[in-house]
Amino acid sequence: MSVRPILIAGDPRLTTPAVPVTAFDDELAAFIDDLFDTNTAAEGAGLAANQIGDPRAVFVYDLVDDGQRHRGHVVNPVLETSPIPETMPDPDDLEGCLSVPDEWFPTGRAHWAKVTGVDMTGRPLTVEATGYLARCLQHETDHLTGRLYLERLIGRNKREARRMIKDRQWTRPGNSWLPGTDSRTSPS
């Protein structure tokens, strides 16, 4: 088990749709452990495989919502949601991302979400939620479709995010950071 570098917006691996997992073996179990270790070190709510450069369709989550801890993983997730609001989100309805470090933007999400998929052994599973866990399920599933939450922003929030990406020079591949060290690295 190890902590791996997290890719930062601008890397094409974050916008490439994931490939379905077909091998349910010890290597997959070890990889999921690495996802959990990396997410924990980064103090994240969830982490998708492509955020650490792996193309497989798998994500982990570990968060507290309404005083209850939710921890798990989903392989080959399929998302279903209630309607997603199309109006400007509440300014306090902030969302962040480990691949967009230190930035938070108001983001509209569906109130309810359900993800179906399988666990690391190939057994079917379903995770259904409202609130923060529902947001996390949508966020991580978006990653696996090649979509960062920044693409869901509208209006002034979208303009501010574009400006931030340009100012931080996140327009080229290879930027990453290693949780636990707080070091952001650039390609050489």
C-alpha angle with apex 117: 114 to 119, nearest 5 degrees? 120
At 171 the pLDDT is: 85
pLDDT tens by residue, 51-84 = 999 999 999 999 999 999 999 999 999 999 999 9
At 184 the pLDDT is: 52
At 173 the pLDDT is: 86
151 noted as active-site residue = no
The one catalytic residue among 86, 95, 140, 160:
140
In angstroms, the CA 143 to CA 14 distance is 7
Q: What is the DSSP letter of 56?
A: B
- Give the residues across from 178 on adjacent strands: 183
At 180 the pLDDT is: 87
| CATH H superfamily, domain 6-177 | Peptide deformylase (3.90.45.10)
At 86 the pLDDT is: 87
> Residue 73, annotated ligand binder?
no
Q: What is the DSSP letter of 92?
A: T
> Residue 143, annotated ligand binder?
yes
- Going by C-alpha positions, the residue among 131, 160, 127 that lies closest to residue 59 is 127
Q: Whole-prediction pTM value?
A: 0.94
Helices (H), the chain: 26-41, 131-144, 155-167
Domain residue spans of the chain: 6-177
> Residue 97, annotated ligand binder?
yes
pLDDT tens by residue, 144-177 = 999 999 999 999 999 999 999 999 999 888 899 9
At 186 the pLDDT is: 45
pLDDT tens by residue, 19-49 = 999 999 999 999 999 999 999 999 999 999 9
